[in-house]
Homo-oligomer: A and B are copies of this chain.
């Protein structure tokens, strides 16, 4: 496996040349576009890693899956899905139009920004800081370590430039979908997006999802099976932005990407996968990461569809 990962890494690395790093905030723009890390954790808990698999980056939109798992755990499925749908959408991730025209007047799913902000608004805690810390602790509990960091430069930059997300959040407030203070809710959201992870971390969480909530390393249940299934279902239908359909054809497994360059993927009963490559394609997915996952899917016959 180790040899395979090295080979896949070498083959996929040139794809980074077709992408470019996110540059809407300085903290992301400084990433090394040539970086590529790949990690796999199998159902027995064995870890394999190649390249920059231990380089840290901000989790960004991958946090939407973890926040959903966290809030489903803390507040229950009904608390979430009475306010957000479960249906995919081909809209850009940051569209408002669907809130205004959809009959249900709720965001389509928890993996688009509008839905994710609703989920952030449901996190337990006494303040944005407290909520952010608790979420960080939850991620740490999945990873079996207490030291999950947050990238404060990313957090600060996001917080100061998020006009579109503020527009979405105030619209959600108008619709009665945000119980608390709007700016506080956004603060929680920016905190969750700035959590620092590496490819191995993503593979470990992917491995938990692949076993429907059981951690193969510590061999115990850390998420309810239903929670893991909901997360995986949403990942397969809308985890890769406007490229979700393409990804289902080319790779064929549940996955979630973030503009920090990470992708977390999961293959039922077999593997969790994590990749890191900050040069993004035009849809916001890691260019080299996609190439690596497509190749891994072929080599390991990962496709579930």
Contact = CB atoms under 8 A, between A and B. Distances in A.
Contact of A238 (B88, B95, B96, B163): B88
Contacts of A95: 100
Contacts of A90: 85, 87-90, 98, 102, 108-109
A222 B304 CA distance: 21
A171 B233 contact: no
A7 to B, nearest CB: 23
A86 interface: yes
Given A88-B90, A268-B305, A303-B268, A174 B163 contact: yes
Given A85-B90, A167-B167, A174-B167, A248 B233 contact: yes
Contact of A96 (B88, B96, B244): B96
A230 interface: yes
Interface string A206-245: 0000000000000000000000011011101110001111
Interface residues of A, number: 48
A246 interface: yes
A187 to B, nearest CB: 15
* Copies of this chain, tallied across the complex: 4
A300 interface: no
Interface string A169-204: 111011000000010000000000000000000000
Given A97-B100, A229-B305, A303-B229, A170 B167 contact: yes
A182 to B, nearest CB: 8
Contact of A229 (B167, B174, B252): B252
Contacts of A85: 90, 245
* Residue in A101, A108, A169, A248 whose Cβ sees the most chain B Cβ within 10 Å: A248
A122 to B, nearest CB: 18
A163 B173 contact: yes
Contacts of A229: 249, 252, 303, 305
A287 interface: no
A164 interface: yes
A249 B304 CA distance: 15
B244 A230 contact: no
A56 interface: no
B305 A88 contact: no
A233 B237 CA distance: 9
A155 B230 CA distance: 39
A229 B251 CA distance: 10
Given A96-B97, A96-B100, 16 more contacts: A85-B90, A86-B246, A87-B243, A87-B246, A88-B245, A95-B100, A96-B171, A97-B97, A166-B166, A229-B249, A234-B245, A236-B236, A236-B237, A237-B245, A268-B303, A304-B305
29 contacts: A85-B245, A86-B249, A87-B90, A87-B243, A88-B89, A88-B237, A88-B244, A90-B98, A90-B102, A90-B108, A95-B100, A96-B96, A97-B100, A97-B101, A163-B173, A163-B174, A164-B170, A164-B171, A167-B168, A167-B169, A229-B252, A232-B305, A233-B248, A234-B245, A236-B248, A236-B305, A237-B244, A237-B245, A268-B305
